[in-house]
């Protein structure tokens, strides 16, 4: 299964962090720092793997991809295929790109909820459930519509809104 | 009431405001965050759900990206969750999955919310709830919500169904009994034609099979069908993962799947699937030669690919193959060796591991030579990686691949001089360990040690200190092999030793002590009258306690620069004269005098010991220097006696001691180890004051008595040694035994190429070529003709570490999970899990042929048990074999310790002898004792 997904920029600022097992925030921060310390020491055009066992413990692997100012990092165990996860990163980034039209770091920064939504449609409890970027887009759009709909009734008095949503 | 709430919601900052504020960082990030958190704490108490949910969203953001704890908002999350609005729910679920864990107190309150949403008609609400469940489910939640999950497993909405399938993993794990309810429906989904559902189900089974593959063997036919039919790479990869777990358990299954997997290997275009096929073949189907050949062929394609990822994975795959098929590595050696200088550290390390896998007895020296040259040229991290792997490979299994220890010891010396070397401690351990275990290497060891010690530049490198400590110890302990003890003494006492940490300084001082005693002994006791070594050679060694004398002569003749002098000076290059002795004594006084005030007690004490000894001997030495040489017997009797005593004290060999040695010493009568000494404190209460300042520096008490005390100590020690020595000698006489057969090395010449073979030190490119050539040669199993020298004896201890690691039992949760799975699969709920487990494989074949499930087959069951037993006993054996622990005896040599050690060693060495074929001077009694069973006799 997938253990964690992280997105961080080249300065080490976290842009997205998702751990599929509970970890206290301090531990999360420590892990992300550990990953970044290794990432920033790596040259361009080398392989997309780093040794994760020293950071995440036994049976963990890590692949990352570097796009412009962002690192996309996936951590997983032996029941995933490294190259397939690399493809998955590609799918994730493509989806972001479709969603935000030429995605850049600022889109990820300002669309905290939406990025999480996209990821949640792709990966469910550490299992990859959706690998087609158009399917992901479809679901994300519907969720956004639903959110907008439920927000648009925010100004209607409580009793009425309760009635509407039922 | 509504006033503040309205104000709150009107002027509340949104998440976007927070993000913008953070980016502007007008007042500093931390200050801004704490201000925002303050606001959030206020807002989150609001009764208005919109305000509350916005606050919660901001808090989640700060928690997720700025690592602030949001557990205080657990209850508020539940409140927001109760909102009918989807957007609120979404925020609440997000916060909950970020912060809830098994010990969150309000976890109990969430069950009904989840249930309500699981039954919702809005599929996205259901999915939010499922997602949350997959993250936070505990036993209670899993139990209470099993019916809902069960219903969703056959939902007609794809979006929900695959998520329900995925959540089952967590539910099973937390509440194994849910298997009885859901498993059947989960299996039914395996036959679903929709690739998305199938992908989710196969994913779940691959996770389950990781933990307990045996339980899922009966499903092999379904998996096989998917493997053959699937057109989706994700699904194929997951099915391959399952088969790589199942195939080793059942030979017939492996035979069945090997063909379809090879087909995939040949035909697939996707690299990920191709790699998974390769991995499956090399891990689980490695006995199918043709499949492995095919896989290795594909690996080669990976290795020459431009993509560094493929190269890296190819190397990884090779490393898995190397365990069983070394040919696969040697076929690709050119690529591997080229990869040693790759830009990517991952690739470098993988290829280094592969190169180390190729190392054998025949090529170890050449490969190490080339690798050391690589180490010289690479960055510090990789350099140490190389050195570390050379050290661990060469020392594996008590140096089993090392034939030429002289070479290895000089390699160790050379490695420690590599600028980035940080493996000093390992080198230290190995130098000492080899010194103790391999008698024949000691002359070379002393030479290497000398080279390290006399180089003042090395003292400044703190990584080298531990190596120097080993060098100092070796040159002191085996000083009799030194060509020039005087030079050694100067090296040990050079002023720059003040750069050493005190723990290592003590080793230096102690070694200086040994060297001094040796010099004095050579000069005065054996002194002017050098006994022709021929006569000594004829003496049966070991009968007298002077083993070391004899070997000393042998080696000095052999190694001495001046071999033409017929049994001449023992120290051809630097004869020890009385004059030089006097200089030596002066040097000691000069160098160690200041250390009497050292703040380190160890250093101070050892310096005091040595100076005490000098004080004791110096007057006599001066006397005899003035008088004629041959008069020394009359005048210097006292001195000679002391020198002899000290020499005897130091001349006993130290050997490795088994960890369990202490346990073999029977408890002497009257020694109470278990007595409660609580009363002692009361009695000793009065005596405390003096002991408290026993370590105070330069106290008058010490100053006054220190010297005489140390003298006393020395005398005492030497007397004890003497006693033990004579006991030892007697024992040896009786059994005709001595520790370690010496021999053979004097019969063969040093026909090894020098360690620093200049022809091998080429450019790095040359190195690569060299290495290729070398490994090519080495993989042809032939013995090198120039190995004229047999491998020297390496002392091993017979005692085997008897500690048994408790067999790992699978966790009880997994147990109950797999138990439940088996129950469901076999429909025999009453059978205890162990029985059903043992039946599994037997049933498999019949099931695969599409027959109905059978019930217990007692015959097959017992067979299975037998196999199980066999396995476990085998494992135990393996375990005991693998661990031959060793232990270095302490360097501090007081006579008591040595006595014990010697006795134990004798015991060991006797057994050891029994197995040794390379004895050359076997005498009658030795042969007899070698065959007789060993009787433990520690107390002679």
Using one digit for the tens of pLDDT, what is the confidence trace for A153-162?
655 544 444 4
Residue B316 confidence (pLDDT): 92
Query: In chain B, which stretches have pLDDT less than 70?
Result: 1-10, 26, 525-576, 624-639, 653-658, 678-790, 797-815, 827-940
Q: How many CB pairs under 8 A join A and B?
A: 157
Q: Distance (Å) from the C-alpha of residue A20 to the closest C-alpha of chain B?
A: 7
H or E segment and range at residue B587: helix B578-592
The residues, ordered by sequence, that sit 6+ positions from B239 with a Cβ below 8 Å of its Cβ are: B202, B206, B223, B226, B227, B230
Please tell me what DSSP assigns to residue B654. P
- In A, which residues are within 8 Å of B343 by CB distance? 43, 45-46
Q: Which of B325, B316, B266 has the alpha carbon at shortest distance from B294?
A: B266
Q: Distance (Å) from the C-alpha of residue A136 to the closest C-alpha of chain B?
A: 11
* Closest Cβ–Cβ partner in A28, A79, A154 for B241: A79
More confident of the two residues A155 and A136: A136
B 255-274 residues inside an 8 A Cβ radius of A: 271-273
Residue B349 CB-density burial (10 A; 0-12 exposed, 13-18 middle, 19+ buried): buried
A86 and chain B in contact, CB less than 8 A: yes
Using one digit for the tens of pLDDT, what is the confidence trace for B735-760?
544 443 333 333 333 333 333 333 33
- In B, which residues are within 8 Å of A112 by CB distance? 15, 19, 61, 64-65
Instruction: Kindly identify which residue of chain B lies nearest to residue A129, measuring between CA atoms.
Output: B200
Residue A81 confidence (pLDDT): 93
Among B102, B344, B352, pick the best mutation site for testing chain A contact (most A Cβ within 10 A): B344
A130 and chain B in contact, CB less than 8 A: yes
Q: Distance (Å) from the C-alpha of residue A72 to the closest C-alpha of chain B?
A: 15
Distance CA B488, CA B515 (A): 8
B95 in helix, strand or coil?
helix
Contact B274, B233 (CB under 8 A): no
Instruction: Kindly identify which residue of chain B lies nearest to residue A112, measuring between CA atoms.
Output: B61
CA B555 to centroid of chain Cα atoms:
37
Instruction: Kindly identify which residue of chain A lies nearest to residue B19, measuring between CA atoms.
Output: A110
B233 and chain A in contact, CB less than 8 A: yes
CA B595 to centroid of chain Cα atoms:
38
A31 and chain B in contact, CB less than 8 A: no
Instruction: Tell me what ipTM this predicted complex has.
Output: 0.92
Among B62, B64, B299, pick the best mutation site for testing chain A contact (most A Cβ within 10 A): B64
Query: Is A22–B135 a contact, with Cβ atoms under 8 angstroms apart?
Result: yes
Q: Distance (Å) from the C-alpha of residue B267 to the closest C-alpha of chain A?
A: 18
HSE (side-chain half, CA atoms, 13 Å) at B143: 6
* B201 φ, ψ (degrees, to nearest 5): -65, -45
Six-digit token pair at B903?
A: 């006795």
Contact B752, B929 (CB under 8 A): no
Residue B728 confidence (pLDDT): 52
* Closest Cβ–Cβ partner in B102, B124, B276 for A146: B124
Contact B61, B100 (CB under 8 A): no
Query: Is A22–B162 a contact, with Cβ atoms under 8 angstroms apart?
Result: no
The CA-atom distances, in angstroms, between B342 and each of B244, B348, B350, B351 are 31, 6, 11, 9
Query: Is B124–A83 a contact, with Cβ atoms under 8 angstroms apart?
Result: no
B 161-180 residues inside an 8 A Cβ radius of A: 162-163, 166-167, 169-170
The residue assigned the tokens 């310790």 is B897
Residue B525 confidence (pLDDT): 67
Average pLDDT over residues A40-56: 89
DSSP class per residue in B751-790: -SPPSS-GGG---HHHHHHHHHHHHHHHTS----TT--SP
- In A, which residues are within 8 Å of B64 by CB distance? 14, 16-17, 112
Query: Among A49-53, A86-90, B318-322, B841-845, whose mean pLDDT is lowest?
Result: B841-845
Query: Is B86–A147 a contact, with Cβ atoms under 8 angstroms apart?
Result: yes
Distance CA A164, CA B743 (A): 100
B124 and chain A in contact, CB less than 8 A: yes
Residue B927 confidence (pLDDT): 43
Instruction: Kindly identify which residue of chain B lies nearest to residue A63, measuring between CA atoms.
Output: B309
Q: Distance (Å) from the C-alpha of residue B809 to the closest C-alpha of chain A?
A: 18
Residue B737 confidence (pLDDT): 42
Contact B609, B513 (CB under 8 A): yes
A51 and chain B in contact, CB less than 8 A: yes
Q: Distance (Å) from the C-alpha of residue B270 to the closest C-alpha of chain A?
A: 9
Q: Distance (Å) from the C-alpha of residue B147 to the closest C-alpha of chain A?
A: 19
A156 and chain B in contact, CB less than 8 A: no
Query: Is B67–A29 a contact, with Cβ atoms under 8 angstroms apart?
Result: yes
Query: Is A109–B122 a contact, with Cβ atoms under 8 angstroms apart?
Result: no
Among A3, A76, A81, pick the best mutation site for testing chain B contact (most B Cβ within 10 A): A81
- In B, which residues are within 8 Å of A20 by CB distance? 135
Q: Distance (Å) from the C-alpha of residue A162 to the closest C-alpha of chain B?
A: 7
- In B, which residues are within 8 Å of A86 by CB distance? 272, 309
B313 and chain A in contact, CB less than 8 A: yes
Instruction: Kindly identify which residue of chain A lies nearest to residue B21, measuring between CA atoms.
Output: A110
Using one digit for the tens of pLDDT, what is the confidence trace for B28-56?
888 889 999 999 999 998 888 889 999 99
Q: Which of A152, A115, A155, A162 has the alpha carbon at shortest distance from A6?
A: A115
A165 and chain B in contact, CB less than 8 A: yes
Average pLDDT over residues A78-93: 94
Instruction: Kindly identify which residue of chain A lies nearest to residue B162, measuring between CA atoms.
Output: A129
- In B, which residues are within 8 Å of A17 by CB distance? 64-65
Among B124, B189, B209, pick the best mutation site for testing chain A contact (most A Cβ within 10 A): B124
Q: Distance (Å) from the C-alpha of residue A155 to the closest C-alpha of chain B?
A: 10
Six-digit token pair at B400?
A: 């089993």
- In B, which residues are within 8 Å of A109 by CB distance? 19, 23
- B/e letters for B25-53, b = 16+ CB within 10 Å, e = fewer, are eeeeeeebbeebeeebeebbebebbbbbb
């Amino acid at each position: 299964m997938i253990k964690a997904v992280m997105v961080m920029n080249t300065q080490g600022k976290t842009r997205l962090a998702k751990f599929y097992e509970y970890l206290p925030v301090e531990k999360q921060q420590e892990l992300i720092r550990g990953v970044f310390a290794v990432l920033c020491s790596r040259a361009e055009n080398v392989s997309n793997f780093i040794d994760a066992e020293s950071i995440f413990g036994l049976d963990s692997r890590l692949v990352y991809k570097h796009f412009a100012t962002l690192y996309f990092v996936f951590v997983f165990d032996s029941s995933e295929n490294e190259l397939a996860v690399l493809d998955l990163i590609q799918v994730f980034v493509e989806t972001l790109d479709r969603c935000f039209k030429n995605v850049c770091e600022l889109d990820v920064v300002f669309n905290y909820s939406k990025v999480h939504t996209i990821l949640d449609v792709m990966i469910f409890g550490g299992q990859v459930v959706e690998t087609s970027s158009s399917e992901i887009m479809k679901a994300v759009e519907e969720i956004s519509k639903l959110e907008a709909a439920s927000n648009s009734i925010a100004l209607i008095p409580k009793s009425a809104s309760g009635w509407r949503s039922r | 009431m509504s006033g503040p709430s309205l104000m709150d919601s009107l002027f509340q900052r949104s998440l976007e405001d927070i993000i913008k504020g953070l980016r502007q960082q007008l007042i500093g990030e931390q200050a801004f965050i704490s201000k925002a958190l303050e606001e959030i704490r206020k807002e989150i108490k609001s009764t208005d759900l919109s305000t509350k949910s916005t606050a919660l969203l901001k808090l989640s953001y700060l928690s997720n990206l700025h690592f602030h704890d949001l557990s205080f908002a657990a209850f508020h999350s539940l409140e927001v969750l109760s909102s009918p609005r989807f957007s609120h729910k979404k925020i609440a679920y997000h916060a909950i999955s970020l912060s809830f864990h098994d010990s969150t107190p309000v976890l109990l309150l969430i069950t009904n919310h989840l249930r309500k949403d699981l039954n919702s008609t809005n599929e996205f609400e259901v999915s939010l709830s499922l997602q949350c469940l997959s993250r936070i489910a505990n036993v209670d939640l899993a139990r209470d919500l099993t019916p809902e999950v069960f219903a969703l497993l056959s939902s007609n909405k794809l979006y929900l169904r695959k998520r329900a399938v995925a959540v089952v993993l967590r539910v099973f794990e937390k509440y194994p009994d849910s298997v009885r309810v859901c498993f059947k429906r989960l299996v039914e989904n395996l036959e679903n034609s929709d690739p998305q559902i199938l992908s989710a189900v196969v994913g779940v089974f691959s996770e389950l099979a990781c933990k307990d593959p045996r339980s899922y063997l009966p499903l092999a036919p379904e998996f096989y069908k998917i493997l053959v039919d699937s057109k989706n790479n994700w699904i194929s990869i997951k099915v391959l993962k399952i088969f790589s777990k199942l195939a080793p358990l059942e030979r017939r299954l492996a035979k069945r799947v090997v063909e379809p997997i090879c087909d995939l290997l040949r035909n697939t275009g996707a690299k990920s699937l191709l790699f998974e096929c390769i991995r499956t073949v090399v891990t689980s189907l490695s006995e199918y030669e043709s499949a492995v050949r095919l896989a290795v062929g594909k690996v080669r394609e990976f290795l020459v690919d431009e993509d560094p990822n493929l190269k890296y994975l190819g190397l990884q795959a090779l490393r898995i193959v190397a365990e069983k098929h070394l040919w696969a590595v040697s076929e690709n050696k050119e690529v591997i060796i080229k990869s040693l200088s790759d830009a990517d550290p991952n690739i470098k390390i993988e290829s280094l591991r592969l190169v180390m896998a190729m190392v054998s007895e025949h090529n170890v020296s050449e490969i190490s030579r080339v690798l050391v040259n690589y180490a010289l040229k690479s960055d510090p991290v990789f350099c140490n990686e190389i050195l570390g792997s050379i050290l661990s490979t060469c020392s594996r299994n008590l140096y089993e691949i090392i034939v030429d220890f002289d070479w290895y010891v000089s390699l160790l010396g050379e490695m420690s001089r590599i600028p980035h070397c940080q493996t000093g401690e390992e080198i230290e351990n190995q130098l000492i360990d080899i010194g103790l275990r391999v008698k024949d290497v000691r002359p070379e060891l002393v030479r290497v040690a000398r080279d390290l010690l006399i180089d003042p530049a090395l003292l400044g490198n703190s990584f080298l200190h531990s190596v120097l400590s080993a060098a100092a110890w070796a040159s002191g302990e085996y000083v009799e092999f030194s060509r020039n003890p005087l030079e050694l003494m100067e090296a040990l006492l050079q002023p720059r030793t003040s750069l050493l940490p005190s723990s290592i300084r003590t080793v230096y001082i102690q070694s200086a002590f040994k060297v001094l005693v040796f010099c004095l002994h050579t000069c005065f006791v054996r002194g002017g009258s050098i006994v022709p070594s021929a006569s000594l050679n004829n003496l049966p060694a070991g009968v007298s306690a002077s083993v070391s004398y004899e070997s000393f002569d042998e080696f000095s003749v052999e190694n001495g620069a001046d071999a033409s002098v017929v049994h001449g000076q023992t120290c051809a290059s630097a004869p020890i004269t009385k004059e030089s002795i006097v200089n030596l004594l002066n040097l000691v006084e000069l160098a160690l005098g200041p250390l009497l005030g050292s703040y380190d007690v160890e250093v101070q004490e050892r310096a005091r010991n040595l100076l005490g000894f000098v004080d004791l001997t110096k007057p006599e030495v001066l006397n005899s220097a003035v008088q004629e040489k041959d008069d020394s017997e009359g005048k210097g009797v006292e001195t000679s006696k002391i020198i002899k005593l000290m020499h005897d004290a130091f001349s006993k060999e130290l050997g490795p001691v088994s960890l369990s040695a202490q346990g073999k010493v029977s408890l002497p009568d009257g020694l109470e180890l278990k007595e409660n000494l609580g009363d002692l404190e009361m009695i000793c209460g009065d005596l405390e004051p003096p002991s408290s300042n026993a370590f105070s520096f330069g106290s008058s008490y010490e100053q006054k008595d220190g010297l005489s005390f140390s003298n006393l100590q020395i005398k005492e020690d030497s007397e004890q040694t003497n006693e033990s020595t004579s006991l030892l000698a007697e024992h040896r006489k009786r059994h005709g035994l001595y520790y370690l057969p010496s021999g053979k090395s004097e019969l063969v010449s040093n026909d090894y190429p020098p360690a620093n073979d200049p022809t091998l030190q080429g450019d790095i490119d040359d190195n690569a070529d060299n290495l290729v050539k070398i490994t090519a040669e080495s993989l042809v199993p032939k013995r090198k003709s120039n190995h004229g020298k047999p491998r020297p004896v390496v002392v091993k201890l017979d005692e085997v570490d008897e500690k048994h690691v408790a067999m790992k039992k699978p966790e009880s949760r997994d147990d109950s999970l797999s138990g439940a799975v088996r129950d469901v699969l076999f429909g025999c709920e009453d059978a205890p899990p162990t029985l059903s487990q043992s039946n599994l494989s037997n049933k498999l074949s019949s099931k695969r042929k599409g027959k109905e499930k059978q019930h217990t087959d007692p015959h097959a069951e017992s067979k299975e048990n037998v196999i199980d037993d066999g396995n476990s006993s085998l494992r135990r054996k393996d375990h005991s074999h693998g661990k031959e622990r060793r232990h270095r005896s302490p360097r501090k040599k007081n006579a008591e310790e040595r006595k014990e050690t010697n006795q134990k060693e004798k015991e060991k060495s006797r057994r050891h002898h029994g197995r040794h074929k390379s004895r050359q001077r076997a005498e009658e009694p030795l042969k007899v004792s070698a065959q007789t069973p060993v009787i433990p006799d520690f107390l002679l």
